[in-house]
């Protein structure tokens, strides 16, 4: 089935470019340009000078994030705690460390000033990584005190997508210890960085086989503030989550093993990589796989707001499902038996 | 590979609709609506009241097409002649009538009034079917005397596609004896009917396997005005053309044979069918397979103008090529050996 590899290459040659770079716009596009040149071809871009007018850009970057502390002094927010900075990511099963589970963070409602202290001073407690985020429209709920600091929607995107406001607007306050593992969303995503930098690795939906989506049992971290330690508990009854198996930055001692387990990722076309700086917006098209790291701004935090718009479930989505239904393994690098047994996945859940 | 059949159904369920009907708009869309709701999802539509202002609508329908005769009295046009009304279609090979070739019309430059007489009075010479058409931008060349009668482009479509004028504008003057066999074009197509009616059968690109694209040797009709007869001559050296094998209207005595040769077409989801009347525009999306018949207007002719705009060669096109590269035969109805040998086709030529 070299047809699958031909598809990876053709979509780059025809549309995305072969240099693995994300296109940059110096000014916001019109709705029509955005729709025609990026949404329609399902192609990412970075837009500069689109949010220069947001008060957030200067206010949120104040020393010690004093404006944020003051504005949210009486708010409680959803704080995600993990031992490693990797939530919604694969982790060794506590009962059988050679197997992996899909580990979610310990989430606790926390007074915002306490949350900010944990995030902005990561060295203070190295055993706990804190990330203030909740992908449930949190910017318009938990953080409503900040509503006037950003636009409620991205006007040219709203117009392009048909006029409906975003389905969700989420705020992300983290530090360089937090990573987001490879996954895709069934939304069109406008991702605006307000403070610090976000580093994205992107793969188009046509590369789906390169992520080795497998079923993993769901588990959740439980944090005890008494002991300061985490437990990782499997959900009962067991629930399986389809998730990408590839970590693009394996520890050096595991690199060789990971490359031989996931040759389609490591030996295939170079992923798209980009850094989105404060003041820039990434258009992250629906169904693109993305892995995210971050560098902190002056105040110690990376802060971003993202807008999720409903995607069109059309011929592209149907083609994606067809592609994903095709079993494919590299002809030259067959995988160990235990991987080939688990190739089914549920595209609706990832 | 029931995945292929799942794809046929999913694209209908998600986007095109299950009733095999083409959506109708009562007024022209804005460029943004057109791009978002039809071009992006690769979905046809019929638009009413978009060309009411064209002088052509009344002028070209005058009794005996007198306006056209007068305007083009000194013009010569490309007239396509066939014995059957089927040009660019499959026909029995003269040397071996059980095999098929791809037969092109006899094309001759003809004074327009003579051409019009042949087309408008099909019963006068039943052995010859005439069709004035040439898909080489003929409306802006051979028919430039009519330029003021239609808009030079469809403004909302031009804006949607990025501002460039159509790559080609073609005029079609025919009668009910001419058919156009199943094929696809690598253009976005705005098809405006000025007189009479056009009857389209449409299949989305995801149905590619249902058309049984095969390689056929190219041949051309040669018409002798002395004998009034046609010869069908194979090109030398032999050149193969990939073409759709399915005739949706086989003669009754061949119906059973055709259904068993092409079960994916005859037993699959119902094709999209629509009639485009004088004054209406069909948006025929790039890569859609289409078969066209026509009914004549009062003056005996069916007249249409179509605008070909460049298509985007993007992820949808790459997905199409991938799908076409997958060999697929109905699991329940395997084909005779002679068909299964010829499944390769060159998508660039069809």
What's the mean pLDDT in A88-113?
95
A346 pLDDT more than 50:
no
Instruction: Kindly provide the ipTM of the predicted complex, given to two decimals.
Output: 0.92
Which residue of A6, A35, A325 is in closest CB contact with B40? A35
Gap between the terminal Cα atoms of chain A: 25
What pLDDT score was predicted for residue A21?
A: 96
3-state secondary structure chain A: CHHHHHHHHHHHHHHHCCCCECEEECCCCCHHHHHHHHHCCCCCEEECCCCCCCCHHHHCCCHHHHHHHHHCCCCEEEEEEECCCEECEEEEECCEEEEEEEEECEEEEEEHHHHHHHHHCCCCCCCCEEEEECCCCHHHCCCHHHHHHCCCCCHHHHHHHCCCCCCEEEEEEECCCCEEEEECCCEEEEEEEEECEEEEEEECHHHHHHHCEEEEEEEEEEEECCCCEEEEEECCCCCEEEEECCCCCCCHHHHHHHHHHCHHHHCCCCCEEEEEECCCEEEECCCCEEEEEEECCCCCCEEEEEEEEECCCCHHHHHHHHHHHCCCCCCCCCCCHHHHCCCCCCCCCC
What's the mean pLDDT in A106-114?
96
What pLDDT score was predicted for residue B179?
A: 94
Bridge partners, B281 (sequence order):
B47, B192
Each domain of chain B, given as residue ranges in start order, spans 2-76+112-213+253-324
| pLDDT mean across residues, chain B | 92
Distance, CA of B298 to CA of B304 (rounded, Å): 14
**Do A166 and A158 contact (CB within 8 A), yes or no?**
yes
Distance, CA of A127 to CA of A229 (rounded, Å): 8
Token pair 């560098």 in the structure block, residue: A295
What pLDDT score was predicted for residue B328?
A: 83
3-state secondary structure B96-125: EEEEEEEEECEEEEEEHHHHHHHHHCCCCC
Strand order in the sheet with A197-203: A86-87, A179-183, A289-295, A197-203, A272-277
Cβ contact, residue pair B322, A4, below 8 Å: yes
Residues in CB range of B140: below 8 A, 6 or more apart: B147, B152, B169
Give B15 to chain A, closest Cα distance, Å: 5
Rg value, chain A, Cα: 20
pLDDT tens-digit series, residues A301-332: 999 999 999 999 999 999 999 999 998 876 54
What's the mean pLDDT in A187-215?
98
A7 inside 8 A of chain B by CB: yes
Classify each residue of A235-249 as buried b or exposed e, where b means 16 or more C-beta atoms within 10 Å of its C-beta. Answer: eeeeebbbbbbbbbe
B326 inside 8 A of chain A by CB: yes
The percent of residues above 70 in pLDDT, for chain B, comes to 94
What pLDDT score was predicted for residue B333?
A: 41
Token pair 């009709």 in the structure block, residue: B221
What's the mean pLDDT in A243-271?
96
| A chain contacts of residue B315, beta-carbon cutoff 8 Å | 11, 14-15, 41-43, 204-206, 316
A160 inside 8 A of chain B by CB: yes
Distance, CA of B40 to CA of B16 (rounded, Å): 12
Distance, CA of B339 to CA of B335 (rounded, Å): 6
| B chain contacts of residue A7, beta-carbon cutoff 8 Å | 318-319, 321-322
A208 inside 8 A of chain B by CB: no
Cβ contact, residue pair A10, B35, below 8 Å: no
Which residue of B32, B41, B318 is in closest CB contact with A7? B318
A52 pLDDT more than 80:
yes
Bridge partners, B275 (sequence order):
B199
User: C-alpha dihedral over B313, B318, B323, B325, to 10 degrees?
Assistant: 100
Distance, CA of B197 to CA of B174 (rounded, Å): 11
Q: Is B275 exposed, middle or buried (0-12, 13-18, 19+ CB in 10 A)?
A: middle
A204 inside 8 A of chain B by CB: yes
Gap between the terminal Cα atoms of chain B: 25
**Residue of A1, A159, A319, A347 for testing the chain B interface, max B β-carbons within 10 Å:** A319
Token pair 């590369």 in the structure block, residue: A207
Q: A320 to chain B: nearest residue by CA? A: B319
Distance, CA of A66 to CA of A59 (rounded, Å): 9
Distance, CA of B204 to CA of B178 (rounded, Å): 23
What's the mean pLDDT in B82-96?
94
Distance, CA of A8 to CA of A22 (rounded, Å): 16
**Do A49 and A28 contact (CB within 8 A), yes or no?**
yes
Distance, CA of B350 to CA of A90 (rounded, Å): 47
Distance, CA of B296 to CA of B242 (rounded, Å): 31
Q: A294 — phi, psi (to 5°)?
A: -150, 150
What pLDDT score was predicted for residue B297?
A: 72
Could you count the other beta carbons within 10 Å of the beta carbon of residue A44?
21
Distance, CA of B335 to CA of B330 (rounded, Å): 8
B152 pLDDT more than 90:
yes
Q: pLDDT band at B337, cuts 50/70/90?
A: very low
B335 pLDDT more than 70:
no
Q: pLDDT band at B289, cuts 50/70/90?
A: very high
A4 inside 8 A of chain B by CB: yes
pTM of this prediction exceeds 0.95: no
Distance, CA of A35 to CA of A27 (rounded, Å): 15
Q: Encoding tokens for residue A294?
A: 């971050």
Q: Give the residue with greater pLDDT, B335 vs B231.
A: B231
Q: Which CATH class is domain B2-76+112-213+253-324?
A: mainly beta
B89-93 vs B23-25, strand pairing mode: unpaired
What pLDDT score was predicted for residue B123?
A: 87
**Residue of A2, A6, A36 for testing the chain B interface, max B β-carbons within 10 Å:** A36
Classify each residue of A292-310 as buried b or exposed e, where b means 16 or more C-beta atoms within 10 Å of its C-beta. Answer: bbbebbebbbbbbbbbbbe
Cβ contact, residue pair A323, B319, below 8 Å: yes
Q: How far, CA to CA in Å, does B201 sit from each of A298, B44, B110, B168, B272? A: 63, 12, 31, 23, 6
What pLDDT score was predicted for residue B1?
A: 60
B47 pLDDT more than 60:
yes
Which residue of B32, B40, B320 is in closest CB contact with A31? B32
């Amino acid at each position: 089935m070299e047809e699958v590899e031909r598809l990876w290459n053709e979509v780059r040659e025809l549309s995305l470019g072969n240099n693995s770079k994300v296109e940059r716009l110096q000014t916001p596009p019109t709705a029509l340009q955005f729709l025609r040149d990026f949404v329609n071809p399902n192609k990412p871009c970075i837009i500069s000078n689109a949010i220069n007018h947001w008060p957030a850009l200067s206010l949120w970057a104040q020393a010690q994030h004093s404006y944020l502390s003051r504005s949210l002094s009486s708010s409680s927010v959803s704080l995600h705690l993990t031992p490693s900075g990797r939530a919604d990511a694969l982790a060794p099963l506590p009962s059988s460390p050679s197997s992996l589970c899909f580990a979610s963070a310990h989430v606790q409602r926390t007074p915002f000033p306490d949350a900010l202290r944990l995030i902005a001073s990561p060295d203070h407690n190295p055993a706990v990584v804190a990330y203030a985020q909740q992908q449930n429209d949190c910017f318009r709920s938990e953080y409503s005190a900040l509503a006037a600091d950003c636009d409620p929607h991205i006007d040219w995107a709203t117009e392009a997508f048909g006029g409906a406001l975003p389905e969700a607007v989420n705020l992300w306050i983290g530090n360089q210890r937090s990573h987001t593992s490879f996954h895709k969303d069934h939304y069109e995503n406008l991702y605006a960085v307000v403070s610090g930098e976000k580093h994205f690795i992107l793969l188009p939906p046509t590369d789906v086989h390169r992520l080795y989506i497998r079923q993993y049992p769901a588990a959740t971290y439980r944090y005890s503030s008494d002991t300061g330690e985490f437990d990782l508990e499997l959900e009962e009854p067991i629930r399986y989550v389809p998730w990408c198996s590839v970590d693009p930055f394996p520890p050096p001692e595991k690199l060789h093993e990971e490359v031989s387990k996931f040759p389609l990722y490591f030996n295939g076309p170079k992923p798209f990589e980009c850094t989105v700086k404060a003041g820039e917006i990434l258009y992250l098209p629906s169904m693109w796989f993305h892995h995210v790291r971050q560098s902190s701004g002056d105040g110690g935090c990376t802060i971003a707001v993202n807008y999720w718009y409903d995607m069109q479930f059309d011929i592209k989505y149907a083609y994606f499902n067809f592609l994903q239904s095709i079993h494919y393994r590299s002809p030259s690098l067959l995988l160990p038996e235990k991987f080939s047994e688990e190739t089914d996945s549920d595209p609706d859940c990832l």
